[in-house]
Amino acid sequence: MQIEQIRTPGLGDSTYVLHHDGVAVVVDPQRDVERFQRAVEATGAELRYVLETHLHNDYVSGGRELARRLGGRVVVPAAGAVAWTDYLPAFHHEDLTAGGLTIRPVHTPGHTPEHMAYLVLVDGDPVALFSGGSLLIDSFGRPDLLGNERARGLAKLQYVTMQRLKELPDDVGLYPTHGEGSFCTASCAGITVSTIGRERQMNPLMQYDDEEQFIEAILAPLQPWPRYYRHMGPANLMGPTPAPDPHVPVIAPEHLPDDVHLVDIRPRDVYAKGHVEGSYGIEFSDQTGVWGGWLIPFNATIALVAEEGQDVVEAVLQFERIGYDHEIGVVTDLAGLERAFGPLVTNGLESYRVVIDKLRNDEPLQILDVRSPGEWEDGHIPGSVWRYVPDLAEQGPPPELDPSRPVHIVCGSGYRSNLAVKYLEEAGFEPIVVTDGGVIEILQGLVPSTAG
């Protein structure tokens, strides 16, 4: 059996294409199915199944469309009770056959109630577990995505799942869907696949034999999750649709509708030199779409502001993977933007090294920390004020900030600080993005040197 892992870094997710004896199976594909179609076709194998481990909360599934294109069957956990009919329901331990492979659905609730992992057997021997969002590398999938009121009950089910998966042989390969970078919970172990044996030894949550201790441990570290997640489960339940064509046209600023949301994907230093007030400064990266999903209303009309040569198609694909289908075009004409929206505005940009020097010289800086709650709790700059970027979008700047003084915005690198510019400008503040580094580097720089 051959297994190809296809990663989607911005989502922190992996899709798997496995083939054996001329038959292929795909596990948990995202909505932009062309890349998975190419991978299957490159094997020369016939697609038999597309396996969905659960109703995904972090992206729109591409399983239905991939099966339609290549003639396979999409398999969905039976308890998912999806509203569409062109699928094969998976039941616990009701085996599927794909060439010489036996695919055994294993009910693994906890991340979601209906969750199925798929255990692959060759000649009767278990060789690989495609665990979706159940057992992850050094972790388990978070149980709170269906609401805090259900989190404890799902954590209890995740404990049952953990005990069930512990029974598998050590040498069974572990192939999770959620990995590093996923808000569905994952570690930073630096590996993308594992084994049951490694997880039995290294996964902190697999060390608990007491149910209550396990529940407390899995619930304790949970951090906020992107706002768009609330729309993904319903989209996958009602019937995921194919992704639109990501090749959007260049559009003249005067043709933009009044309700457009401008997403400026230019580098932060370029954005700082001139941008439309109120535009989102979401610098192009693997995370552009996800941060758009944190901040931009679902179903909003979006136009990208980009430099010549930027990968606009990839940026649009990132939005489409999470169900944002109303990208009407890309704008590269800054002069036209100024005519359509009025004078462009600027914001400050300072290296973290400059901030260190100012703090050492006791300059009275206003510092806004926009990192996540966990990052803030792990350590922050003395005297700084905290508000996580998504909360800034909903609540505005903290009342402790003085709008008559500049505000230095800090995060881990400058990326999230750039996201915050919009909300400070709209509230009448003068924002300065701290870049090239962030809070950790500043704290290290403030520690007195012990060198002789």
Confidence of residue 187 (pLDDT cuts 50, 70, 90): low
272 vs 432: CA distance, rounded Å = 9
| Single pTM value for the model | 0.95
**Under CATH, which number does the domain 2-238 receive?**
3.60.15.10
Contact between residue 347 and residue 425 where contact means Cβ atoms under 8 Å apart:
yes
State pLDDT tens for residues 161-183: 999 999 999 999 999 999 987 88
- Give the H or E element holding residue 68: helix 63-70
State pLDDT tens for residues 45-56: 999 999 999 999
Confidence of residue 449 (pLDDT cuts 50, 70, 90): low
State pLDDT tens for residues 231-242: 999 999 999 999
Instruction: Look at residues 276, 263, 238 and name the one whose alpha carbon lies nearest to residue 425.
Output: 276
**What does pLDDT average to over the chain?**
96
Ranges of each domain in the chain: 2-238, 253-341, 348-446
State pLDDT tens for residues 189-207: 789 999 999 999 999 999 9
Q: Is the pLDDT of residue 131 over 60?
A: yes
Homologous superfamily assigned to 253-341: Rhodanese-like domain (3.40.250.10)
Share of the chain above pLDDT 90, in %: 95
**Under CATH, which number does the domain 348-446 receive?**
3.40.250.10
193 vs 127: CA distance, rounded Å = 13
Q: Both tokens of residue 97?
A: 């056959």
Cα R_g (the chain), whole angstroms: 24
Contact between residue 51 and residue 130 where contact means Cβ atoms under 8 Å apart:
yes
**C-alpha distances in Å from residue 427, one per residue of 127, 321, 403:** 57, 32, 8
Is the fold of 253-341 the same as that of 348-446?
Answer: yes
Q: Determine the 3-state secondary structure of 40 from DSSP.
A: helix
